[in-house]
Structure 1
Amino acid sequence: MSFISVFDVLGPNMIGPSSSHTAGAARIGFLAQKMIGGGVVRADFTLYGSFAKTYHGHGTDRALLGGIMGFSTDDMRIRNSFEIAQESGLAYTFTPNETETEIHPNTVDISMTNKNGQSMTIRGESLGGGKVRIVRINGVKVDFTGEYSAVIVVQQDKPGVVAHITKVLSDRGVNIAFMRLFREAKGHTAYTIVESDGKLPEDVAENLKDNVNVRDVMVVQI
């Protein structure tokens, strides 16, 4: 049986009435903008389950929008995230989806574009107590909690890529806490997610890209 601490019950320092519907939502948005490298200029949110039913009343929309703008769960600016988004030129939409029911009750899809024209879609789930997990990146099933700093490598599923990743991280002194590989199918797009319990070198992405089968690298500093 998994251990639940009093902090999981009470939830984190946060703005809003619900650790699941506000703190968790802000956390998902915060991780999403980290993954695309910040500077989000458009974000389209599709809400499922209880998110779809109560997102406005519980402030889920404000929290998601605040997270996308880089606000932490206890940032007072979340209360004014609509106004701040409008002032900054961030375009956004919220679309409730109550037809898809075989899904975690606190789920959101975020399709986003940053100022460099890069696009990404992620799916996040709010698990309670402010804890979250990212379960899809661009349609590929993954499992990423955001509790540790992480390197997310987008790659062609070819032999030698994982060995390249581990060597680069070892050479840079990165202590690997968790490492997992997720893929569409054999030989297709794969995501290697490496979580570290220490700060990641800022230039590690460039070292990791020094392989013909590595398409992109996301560094998520926590």
Structure 2
Amino acid sequence: MRFKDVFSIIGPVMVGPSSSHTAGAARIGRVARQLLGDVPEQAIITLHGSFAETYAGHGTDLALIGGLLDFATDDARIPGAFAEADAAGMQVQLRRGTGTTPHPNYAEITATRGGKTVEVRGASIGGGNIEIHKINGFDAGCTGYYPTLVIAHDDEVGVLAAITGALGTAGMNIGFMHVDRKARSGAALTVVECDRKPDPQLREAIAGLPHVGSVSIIDLN
């Protein structure tokens, strides 16, 4: 990704010793939390590469759990994330991953509440910046740098035109857009980074479009 300013290199205001191992980890956790829409009842966190080797010293596990509780990078509750998770009724399981990944600082999160499950795979690439590679098995390619719409829908003619039309009607500018699908006329996922946070009315408008299943908003600001 292109760095936007000096804070993209030195990192955000944060709790923890490392912008990549702590601040970035918290942001990955927040992506999963915001996609789920509530505190997970259960969360499985799989650490890869450098995350798996150094998580204890850098507090990567605390940051990921804090993110799942929707704690920002500078939230003073992050050091007590395990106790905060217990108080919130969230069961957490940490695992060490195997195999190769796109980046050394890589985590997989499976978060569940009720009948809903969200799977997120992402990397912390430095300076607190992240790349979300997968959402529920679909390629995502988003960074969380801008407010982001995540839209699950059917791969049908006219769906993307309807989505972009709704964005245009709301006066929303698209900074980035990525579409992935399982198969022709199958399930699809569209990720749209916007210049400002979509309001609830826009979310409802897109959710009400034909062939749209769900609409989530990621806002890490």
Query: What TM-score bracket applies, with the shorter chain setting the length?
Result: over 0.9
Change in 2 beyond 3 A, CA 1:155/1:4: closer
Which residue of the partner structure matches residue 106 of structure 1?
105
Which residue of the partner structure matches residue 137 of structure 1?
135
1:40 is paired with a residue whose SS is: coil
- Offset at 1:161? 0.2
Query: Distance between the aligned counterparts of 2:2 and 2:207, measured in 1?
Result: 38
Query: Distance between the aligned counterparts of 2:2 and 2:119, measured in 1?
Result: 31
Query: Distance between the aligned counterparts of 2:117 and 2:81, measured in 1?
Result: 22
1:62 is paired with a residue whose SS is: helix
Is the Cα contact below 8 Å between 2:49 and 2:106 reproduced in 1? Answer: yes
TM-score (norm 2): 0.93
Query: Distance between the aligned counterparts of 2:64 and 2:159, measured in 1?
Result: 34
Which residue of the partner structure matches residue 24 of structure 1?
24
Is the Cα contact below 8 Å between 2:159 and 2:210 reproduced in 1? Answer: no
- Offset at 1:84? 1.0
Percent identity of paired positions between Structure 1 and Structure 2 = 43
Query: Distance between the aligned counterparts of 2:31 and 2:50, measured in 1?
Result: 21
- 1:215 equivalent in alignment to 2:213: yes
Query: Distance between the aligned counterparts of 2:179 and 2:90, measured in 1?
Result: 33
Q: Cα RMSD over matched residues?
A: 1.8
Change in 2 beyond 3 A, CA 1:139/1:210: same
Question: Which residues of structure 1 form unaligned runs of 5+?
Answer: none
Is the Cα contact below 8 Å between 2:39 and 2:90 reproduced in 1? Answer: no
Trace 1:27-42 onto structure 2 (pairs within 5 A): 27-42=27-42
Query: Distance between the aligned counterparts of 2:5 and 2:216, measured in 1?
Result: 31
- Offset at 1:210? 2.3
Is the Cα contact below 8 Å between 1:40 and 1:90 reproduced in 2? Answer: yes
Task: Report how many residues are paired.
Answer: 220
Is the Cα contact below 8 Å between 1:172 and 1:201 reproduced in 2? Answer: no
- Match of residue 146, structure 1, among 136, 144, 147: 144
- Offset at 1:173? 2.2
1:38 is matched by which residue type in structure 2? D
The worse-fitting range, judged by mean Cα deviation, of 68-77 and 195-204 is: 195-204
TM-score (norm 1): 0.92
Question: Which residues of structure 2 form unaligned runs of 5+?
Answer: none
